[in-house]
Amino acid sequence: MTLRDIIYDESIRFILSGGKGGVGKTSCAGAIALLSAQRGFRTLVISTDPAHSLSDSFDQDLSGGDIVEIKGVDNLWGMEIDSERGMKEFQESLGQIGGPESAMASQFLGGTDSLAPPGSDEAMAFGKMLEFLSDTSFDRVVFDTAPTGHTLKLLELPDLLDSWLGKLLTLRQRLSSMMAGLRAFLGGGQEEDRSWEMLQSTKEKIRQARIALADPKTTQFVVVMIPEAMAVFETQRLLASLHAWDIPVSNIIVNQLVPENPSCTFCTNRRRMQQANLADIKDLYRDLHITEVPLFDHEIRGIEELKMLGGILIGAED
Ligand SMILES: Nc1ncnc2c1ncn2[C@@H]1O[C@H](COP(=O)(O)OP(=O)(O)OP(=O)(O)O)[C@@H](O)[C@H]1O
Ligand SMILES: [Mg+2]
């Protein structure tokens, strides 16, 4: 399956762009989002990297945690996740879930490490994924992810959260029978308590997200790398983890390939090194489709540049 097949396939709802630091993840996410929008899909591009650079890439302010319409392109919106704000909203919603015993529950939560919610940046990113899984106001969501380590944490979240919510549900059950006893003792009536169902439905949503994340018809993780040994090693580790979690990968983008230039010894030497690594990459990942992208003599910044990159991403195989 080529990159073009994925981008133009309307059943694909999530595309994640990931890899080592500085290889071109944001540029590729931007270009893929643009292509999706141009194809007519209502597209949202979200940066889950705490060190956001989506605004710089689009040359527009997409910060602040709100969905922003990207100027100059139809069907395209962008957002840089504001994890501090998101965490506040998350705690507030936990308060609501906790019902009358919420203060007690949050004390328990705060006091016990094994019950503390998983890392905030990743949790927020995953929360957005959950949100847009059931929200069909966007046909496609493209994730510009953080360098490998962070992103692996994000992808292991469904399993972590599932067990965390399991613990919370058990705690909730205990607290609830205790409070019911107390209310009866004080002569209070039966209060309607929807917190149990809310926790159960969150758990169910996470289960659905896990299924969507593992479904190659819905989700595709596009690995971006450069043809250098360090990136090859990191890509091996990334692919092994993605494989272990059943996250579908069918495409690798090899970026920043030095073009041929016989009059430049420096370029020729670099190119020789890169071409040797590229041959290894092709050999290692025979089952994956590989798209080669040249190193430009300028930065990739703004809509026009991203469109040009997009043209290479879908045209290279033609
Ligand atoms: N093929 C290319 N030719 C020239 N410049 C490129 C190319 N690909 C990316 N760049 C430039 O390299 C820099 C890093 O690219 P980008 O931000 O897309 O990488 P990233 O993997 O998202 O980095 P980070 O890990 O910091 O998020 C940017 O300035 C971008 O314009
Ligand atoms: Mg980036």
- Residues 50/121, Cβ–Cβ less than 8 Å: yes
Atom of ligand 1 nearest to the CA of 28: 18
Task: Please indicate whether residue 21, judged by its CB atom, sits closer than 6 Å to ligand 1.
Answer: yes
What residues pair up with 40 in beta bridges, in sequence order? none
18 lines ligand 1 (CB under 6 A): no
Q: Quote the CA–CA distance of 176 and 60 in Å, as a whole number.
A: 49
Instruction: Say yes or no: CB of residue 83 within 6 Å of ligand 1.
Output: no
pLDDT of the residue at 198: 73
Tell me how far CA of residue 244 lies from CA of 160, 184, 204, 240, in angstroms: 15, 50, 22, 6
Strands 140-144 and 76-80: unpaired
Question: Of all atoms in ligand 1, which is nearest to the CA of residue 29?
Answer: 18
pLDDT of residue 317: 44
Give the pLDDT confidence score for residue 95 in this predicted structure: 59
Residue 216 CA neighbour count, 13 Å, CB half: 9
Q: Using the mean position of ligand 1's atoms as its centre, give its distance from the Cα of residue 290 in Å.
A: 18
Residue 7 CA, ligand 2 centroid: distance in Å: 20
**Which ligand is nearest to the Cα of residue 148, counting in written order?**
1
pLDDT score of 215: 94
CA distance 33 to 42: 10
Q: Out of 20, 27, 253, 296, give the residue to mutate to test ligand 1, the one with the largest number of ligand atoms within 8 Å of its CB.
A: 27
What strand order describes the sheet that includes 251-257?
68-69, 76-80, 43-47, 140-144, 14-19, 219-225, 251-257, 289-294
What's the whole-model pTM score? 0.86
Q: How confident is the model at residue 318, as a pLDDT?
A: 42
What pLDDT score was predicted for residue 176? Answer: 73
Whole-number pLDDT of residue 121: 67
Mean pLDDT by 10 residues, the chain (318 residues): 97 95 96 98 92 94 93 96 72 57 50 51 73 84 88 78 78 75 66 68 81 93 96 94 93 97 96 97 96 96 97 76
pLDDT given for residue 220 in this prediction: 97
Cα(76) to ligand 1 centroid in Å equals 21
HEC assignment per residue over 132-152:
HHHCCCCCEEEEECCCHHHHH
The SS3 call for residue 262 is coil
| Domain over 3-315 is classified CATH 3.40.640.10 | no
Ligand nearest to the CA of 150: 1
- CA of 57, nearest ligand number: 1
26 CB under 6 A from ligand 1?
yes
| Domain-wise residue ranges, the chain | 3-315
